[in-house]
Every structure is written in C-alpha cells, then in structure tokens.
Amino acid sequence: MKNTDPKWIRYVILLTKGAKPFTKELLKAHIRHLRDLGAKGQLTQCGPFTDYPGGMLIVKAESLEEAKRIAASDPFVSSGCETCEVRTWELSCEENNHLGAG
C-alpha cells in the first residue's frame, strides 16, 4: 500500500561535478544557501560523497517543482560548477509502518 501523506515526502537533490571550476567564494555562497534553507526548516540533511564526486541534499518542499527551484538556486548549480538531479523520496519508518507494508 502506497502512503501519499506529504508528511513522509522529501526531495533528494543529487549534485554531480559540472563543467565550471570550484572556487572558495562559490563554496561560501553554497554554505549561505544551505544556512538559508536550514533557517526556513527546509534542509533535512546534506553533505558530500566520500567515494564519488558530488554530494546530496535532502529537503522538505511543497512539490517537486519547488524542490527543483531550490536546487536551481544553489550557487553550485546556478554557476555550472555542479549539475543536479532531483528525486522524490518517500520515507519508510516505524511511525508509518514502513509505508503500510509492515
């Protein structure tokens, strides 16, 4: 049984190395972006991959379109330093009986 309650929906933003070079100023702008998302209660988790170039953000948003706007506004993405892919992720946990399957 699929649980469509928005309470369990998050959006995963996958960041991958792009064509433009990385700079210290760009990193500072990216951190400001993350802090802004955190202040708005939208950032759940984030960080770089240790075994692959790029990283991931998990965000709360009202829709996939909003999550895509969040991703596009990341200075890493808007500068071309990284590209992104946004995926809808449905949380599975004890509280929702593992999406009703448990």
40-52 tens-digit pLDDT: 999 999 999 999 9
Question: What stretches of the chain adopt beta strand conformation (E)?
Answer: 9-17, 43-48, 55-59, 82-90
The CATH number of the domain holding residue 31 is 3.30.70.1060
- Burial (Cβ within 10 Å: 0-12, 13-18, ≥19) of residue 7: exposed
Domain carrying residue 48:
6-96
User: How many domains is the chain partitioned into structurally?
Assistant: 1
Flag whether 43 is in a domain.
Answer: yes
Flag whether 89 is in a domain.
Answer: yes
pTM here is 0.90
Flag whether 102 is in a domain.
Answer: no
Flag whether 45 is in a domain.
Answer: yes
Q: Show the low-confidence residues of the chain (pLDDT under 50).
A: 1
Are 97 and 51 in contact, with CB atoms under 8 Å apart? Answer: no
Nearest CA among 52, 57, 68 for reference residue 16: 52
